[in-house]
Chains A and B, each alone.
Chain A
């Protein structure tokens, strides 16, 4: 297997994760101080009250606890807590999707099939499965990008959050997009199992392997 794509992905993941972790986190204001009016605060929920200092330990950007229902957290101002990490977050998610899609394609034997002649069935439509994996990965990436974009819009103007179905648009992309987009890969697994995952040819080879192993166990060659 060529190792450089995985190396590139690993390096990119580390770069994004370190960037996110090293981006200064907005410190929760002192519980006793008033919320000063600012454009960001205008978007904050009316009932939101800052957590006491120990609340920052859970690391939610600017965490708020609902003043009436203490066991219920609030997110506070999306703009305030996400403005500095939204781009990095999108990159983190996009790289993850690339990693997952790459692992799926790799385990289906795409790189190996390109280098070996072990499967005539694979060679005959060599463009098909890579194309379908790329398609599945792109669908996944587009859905995630739409989620981030929808969130960005609602973050800037939370009072006019757009709905798509029963949920805010970005949440709908999460529930019906991110959840179901991998259905493409499930379909590929089911439809192309015989050709790409475990072909009849591979099954025959494996049966021979098992038979040889069994024979060797039952009739071990005597060492001279």
Chain B
């Protein structure tokens, strides 16, 4: 079977992509309106939505960048992993009920839509949509670039396939993504998320078992090897240190409430009470899939330190190299499919909210109504955004990095105060939201453009989040709150 490793991996990926196309075709028949396209008609069940929440949260970064970070920095990045349990809980407590109530009461189909009904402010809705769009472009470009790299890596291993340029890989993988997103909208997105999430869970469990078996005495053996080389690397702060790790924890926990591609899914459930069972599904699903991050990262660091494995050329090679050398061919096939699944499950959600921002939120905030024939334009926007992101990924890596950094900082710093706090606090004002969003954009922009590194590795996003929270709070307290619509006011009391 070892002789067919590359073919098995390729077949797994092809089967996975065909499955995505199949789901797209199936979902197309269920997508008849804008409401279906963006909100799945609010008919999603517990398992589908619960899995979609965690699989959208765990992007390709978790499957590739995560193990690479453990290889490079030891335990430091575990703080990103452990933040998920409290972060996802916080997003459910703060937003699952509130967003679902607004969605049913006012037929909202996006986050800026919900912002509009809560604050009665087109400027706040507009700024939220712009912040989302900026973040989407960066994230999406990064995900599309990652898809192309993974596909190229897989094809390069198959001896009878000639060298395939990255551009071709990018076109093929983006075409699959766009096909099921355009045809089936969010319905296709969440049902592929379901399959993708299940693949991720199975892959992570099997990989952890494999990783433990690669080093003598399993996890204890790995810990001992890391300890002998550098006690700090296996300590709770890794090589980053306490301040940097805790700033990551801060921004990742609170930031979980500000990920628009994740929290928008709270609006799509069949019944509000479904959130009760979705929370454990999401928390445990994420926890299990994160075992891959920990397992591969620790084992590769231990294997290299103990001389069983040559040093990696790049830390991000940790997962691919582990799978090539240690995983059973069938497992490697599942995990590579899981890797593409992790990337696509995030990318499709971004495509959906990006399209909503372009055809629905920004026009509505700008001129008071959305576009005519919205479903048609939503499909056009989906293709256009994917094409633009693919161009960024191919031709402007710096811009991608800038937009990506912008995206994370903006999502956490701009959306958390406005949405997570403001949807539960009647005292919050549109002016406070606008200033908080503006400040977060500026702070993130300057930190990124001027390459400013804060002392002790303090995360720039954590700093801008603290600033925007403070501005939001102080301005809200200092300015008179505008009247809230009676039904929204009552919904906020429930």
Contacts and interface: CB of A to CB of B under 8 A. Distances in A.
Given A76-B232, A93-B249, A174-B75, A20 B456 contact: yes
Nearest to A207: B104
B18 interface: no
B448 to A, nearest CB: 14
A125 to B, nearest CB: 19
Contacts of A57: 453
A182 B241 CA distance: 23
A78 interface: yes
A76 B250 CA distance: 25
Given A60-B241, A205-B494, A75 B235 contact: yes
Nearest to B223: A167
B213 interface: no
Given A3-B477, A151-B235, A107 B457 contact: no
A168 interface: yes
Interface string B90-105: 1011100100010011
B239 interface: yes
Contact of A85 (B90, B97, B456): B456
A100 B90 contact: yes
Interface in A65-123: 66, 68-78, 81-82, 85-86, 88-89, 92-93, 96, 100, 103-104, 106-108, 112, 116, 118
Interface residues of B, number: 86
B78 A1 contact: no
B336 interface: no
A174 B463 CA distance: 23
Given A71-B72, A161-B231, A202-B494, A60 B89 contact: no
A127 interface: no
Interface in B245-263: 246, 249-250, 253-254
Contact of B85 (A10, A70, A180, A197): A180
B483 interface: no
B27 to A, nearest CB: 27
A6 B456 contact: no
Given A189-B89, A189-B92, A193-B276, A175 B241 contact: no
Query: B94, B242, B313, B453: which has the most chain A beta carbons within 10 Å?
Result: B242
A85 B81 contact: no
Contacts of A112: 493
B244 interface: yes
A31 interface: no
A59 B455 contact: yes
Contacts of B241: 60-61, 75, 81-82, 85
A82 B242 contact: yes
Contacts of B426: 1
Given A59-B458, A151-B235, A166-B223, A209 B97 contact: no
Contact of B223 (A10, A81, A168): A168
A190 B276 contact: yes
Interface in B221-249: 222-223, 227, 229-244, 246, 249
Interface size bracket, A side: 35 or more
A208 to B, nearest CB: 9
B75 A154 contact: no
A206 to B, nearest CB: 6
Interface in B59-107: 71-75, 78-79, 81-82, 85-86, 89-90, 92-94, 97, 101, 104-106
B487 A213 contact: yes
B370 interface: no
A73 B73 contact: yes
Contacts of B280: 186, 190
A75 B76 CA distance: 10
Nearest to B93: A107
Contacts of B246: 89, 92-93, 96
Give the top 6 A-B pairs by smallest Cβ distance, nearest first: A75-B232, A166-B219, A89-B242, A158-B231, A182-B86, A193-B276
12 contacts: A13-B466, A48-B230, A58-B453, A59-B457, A77-B232, A85-B456, A86-B242, A171-B236, A175-B82, A198-B494, A203-B273, A210-B105
Interface of A: 1, 3, 6-7, 10, 13-14, 17, 20-21, 23, 25, 43, 45, 47-48, 57-61, 63-64, 66, 68-78, 81-82, 85-86, 88-89, 92-93, 96, 100, 103-104, 106-108, 112, 116, 118, 147, 151, 154-155, 158, 161, 163, 166-168, 170-171, 173-175, 178-183, 185-186, 189-190, 193, 197-198, 202-203, 205-206, 209-210, 212-213
